[in-house]
A = this chain, B = another copy of it.
Amino acid sequence: MKELRRKDRAIAEEEAMALLNKAEYGVLSTVDESGQPYGVPLNYCVIGHCLYFHSTVEGHKIDNIRKNLLVSFCVVGNTELLADQFGTKYESVIVSGKVEEVFDTNKQIGLEGLLHKYSAEFFDKGIKYIESLREKTRVFKISINTLTGKAR
């Protein structure tokens, strides 16, 4: 990850982690063997210094990940159009890292983390839901290599 061209737009890692923790979704960027990138929106959760997401057993992003574990993950927070200044005020975080599939205990940790974030008030029902879909769901963990926050 290149150094930020505009240092004045850099926000501290702590703020970047805060945005990463609270954002509703992010866009995962992967790439296929031909060099074609693919960006797709995902729900996710943060546990420690890692991001977790789940998916069904097959799909485009999984095909890409199988060949190349390098990914980028982008979340955008508040945006405010400044029409008279020909710009947009926004806050964003861009993560680069390696993704790996997780199993067993780590798979459960990831799924419960997603439940905590998105369905905390239905946690018990969610635990049963997880059990019923366990074989139809895969869980992936992104280990954060770089974390770049930007605010303009």
Contact = CB atoms under 8 A, between A and B. Distances in A.
Interface in A5-36: 5, 24-25, 27-31, 34-36
A73 interface: yes
Contacts of A84: 119, 122, 125
Given A119-B84, A129-B86, A39 B27 contact: yes
Given A5-B59, A83-B118, A39 B90 contact: no
A119 B71 contact: no
A117 to B, nearest CB: 10
Contact residues on A (Cβ < 8 Å of other chain), bracket? 35 or more
A5 B121 CA distance: 30
Interface in A29-82: 29-31, 34-41, 43, 56, 58-60, 63, 68, 70-74, 76, 79, 81
Contacts of A81: 24, 118
Interface of A: 1-2, 5, 24-25, 27-31, 34-41, 43, 56, 58-60, 63, 68, 70-74, 76, 79, 81, 83-84, 86, 88, 90, 92, 94, 96, 115, 118-122, 125-126, 129
| 3 pairs of A and B residues whose beta carbons are closest in the complex | A29-B39, A29-B29, A29-B37
